[in-house]
Structure formats: structure tokens, C-alpha cells
Amino acid sequence: MKIFFICLILSLTLSLESKAESETLIIHLKDGTIEKIDVSQIQKIKFENITAVNEQNKLSSTLVATGNYPNPFGEQTSIEFEIAMPGNVEISIYDNSGNQIQKLECNGCQEGKNHVTFRRFGTFGRFLPSGAYYYEVRFGNEVQRKKMIVVGGI
């Protein structure tokens, strides 16, 4: 519902800002009709009796990498993500040079919020040094990348 109001207000703002180009506000209503209003005639915009907005799909895409917690971290962190349908998720961890140092998988992840724990114990049985690392969350054809920071001594 908030997204609806933000889009509406943004639309109104952009329409008002482009007044030099056009002085008509065009509103597309649910029933398919279109209302055209002369912007110079608008004194006030007021919303009343709004009870619900149909939100069929809460996620705008099938994958949202929400981040990792804690960040920065010492020993381990939880990489969190949301998916719109059940499936397999791959998470690749990269160092600052772009080398893949670890790959995590969530096979059969449930729809909605999920997480995978990343431990500082890296490839070849060594702890990762402090610094910036990057992870890539992959679900189907979608990929999202985030940054995480490892701190503290070994």
C-alpha cells in the first residue's frame, strides 16, 4: 500500500514539475477509465477511505539478497535472502582480487526468507584474513552481489 502512495505522489510531483511541457494530470483508474485534470485547477490532494491494495507478489523479483548479519564479523555471519518460490540457491564468496574462495548452497530452500551461515574458515583449511569480501547470491537467472567485512585476528 505504501508503494502505491509513493508512486502516486511521485507521479503527481513529476507531473507538476513538468508543468512547462504539460498542464494535465492523467490518472488511470482501476476500472480502466482515464481522468484528465488541469493541474492549475488542483488546490489540494486528499486521500480518504482507502482500505486495501491488492499485493499479489510482495517481491518485485524472484530474489532479494537482504544482506549479512553481523557485518562486519569475526568468526561467522548469516547471509540472508528472500526467494519468491522454492528452489536451489548458490552463494559464491570472493576475495578482493575476484578469486572464488568458497561456494555455499541451499538446496530446496523454502519460499520467503532464508539464510546460510558463512564461516571464516576458507578454502584449503585456512582462516581468511581481515578485509573486504564479496558474495554473490544466485537463484535461477537472477544474481545479486553484496560486500561483507571480516575483522579481528586469527
Residue 98 is classified by DSSP as: S
Q: 3-state SS of 67-93?
A: EEECCCECCEEEEEEEECCCEEEEEEE
Rounded Cα distance, 109 and 37, in Å: 49
Rounded Cα distance, 72 and 130, in Å: 10
Mean pLDDT of the chain: 78
pLDDT at 56: 47
Indicate whether 67 pLDDT > 80.
yes
Mean pLDDT of 123-149: 87
pTM, two decimal places: 0.58
More confident residue, 23 or 19: 23
CATH topology of domain 63-150: Immunoglobulin-like (2.60.40)
Task: Delimit the domains of the chain by residue range.
Answer: 2-41, 63-150
- Using an 8 Å Cβ cutoff, are 28 and 15 in contact? no
Residue 147 C-alpha cell reads as 560486500
